[in-house]
Amino acid sequence: MHWDFAVILIFLGVIAPWLSYRRVRRLMQTSMIGSMDRLALYASTIAFQWIAVGIIVWRTTAHGIRPSDMGLAISRPGLTTSLSIVLCLLALVNQIFSIRRLAAHPSELKATLPQLVLKIFPQTDVERLVFVALVITVALCEELIYRGFVQRLFENASGGIALAGIFISAGFFAVAHLYQGRRGLVSTFIVGALFAAIRWWSGSIVPSACAHFVADLSVGLLAPKKLRAVLESHDRRESENATQTLHT
């Protein structure tokens, strides 16, 4: 393996997850996050991801790896289109179901991930507009990084064993979401393995990028208002119950 690829993998597997985890911990310890804080978070994430992709494209091109080798092609249009539609529908249904499940169990909203959602997901029209740009960036960049670069790299390194690329790339993808906790690690590994299998089958990152976009956009636009209303209603009921208990 080329030394520059090894450096990139160390950054993706160790340094980037640690930085993300530390950043999220800092956000969770902050009592109030304002609009400018969220916009700054979106902008810095957009810049970071495009810089990472730029470096990867630079180094892969230097070693003769073509964009099509990393899934930036549609060699099987019919299959790619069908998989894109199915994955997008599955992603949307899953996110809606997950939001409804959380809304039905208000006590779970106190957990780290729902609280993070309530803090950093958009709350104003300006934030939503920038958030769309963020989601586009994340969908394109993360799919190119994990399903394009990492998956192809380990598939080649293993002598063409598809499962090596699928599961190792899923592992890198899961570790990148370390800040989501144990449940997040498991769920992102499963999603990463599914996306990687689809990328191997279709030869393209287009289906997984489309599904990634739909999943992040739907939860980002639907979850905050719904979960905040449920949490406020839950807190109000708990306050009323506590008041009634004091008066009895």
Give the model's confidence band at 119: pLDDT under 50 very low, under 70 low, under 90 confident, else very high. Answer: confident
Instruction: Give the CA angle between residues 61, 2, 5 to the nearest 5°.
Output: 70
pLDDT over 60 (residue 246): no
Give the model's confidence band at 245: pLDDT under 50 very low, under 70 low, under 90 confident, else very high. Answer: low
Radius of gyration of the CA atoms of the chain, in A: 20
Give the tokens for residue 150: 């990492």
pLDDT at residue 94 in the model: 92
**How many folded domains does the chain comprise?**
1
Give the tokens for residue 220: 């980002």
Distance CA 32, CA 29 (A): 9
Whole-number average pLDDT of the chain? 88
Summarize the chain as % helix, strand, coil (round to 5): 85, 0, 15
pLDDT at residue 116 in the model: 77
Alpha-carbon torsion, ordered 77, 82, 83, 88, to 10 deg: 120
Coil, strand, or helix at residue 74? coil
Helices vs. strands in the chain: H and E counts, helices first:
10, 0
Find how far residue 42's CA is from the centre of its chain: 13
Q: Has this prediction a pTM greater than 0.85?
A: yes
Distance CA 181, CA 64 (A): 38
Residue type, 134: L
Give the domain extent around 180.
Answer: 3-247
pLDDT over 60 (residue 244): no
Q: Give the model confidence (pLDDT) of 200-216 as tens digits.
A: 999 999 999 999 999 99
pLDDT over 90 (residue 139): yes
- Alpha-carbon distances of 247 from 128, 182, 240, rounded to whole Å: 44, 42, 11
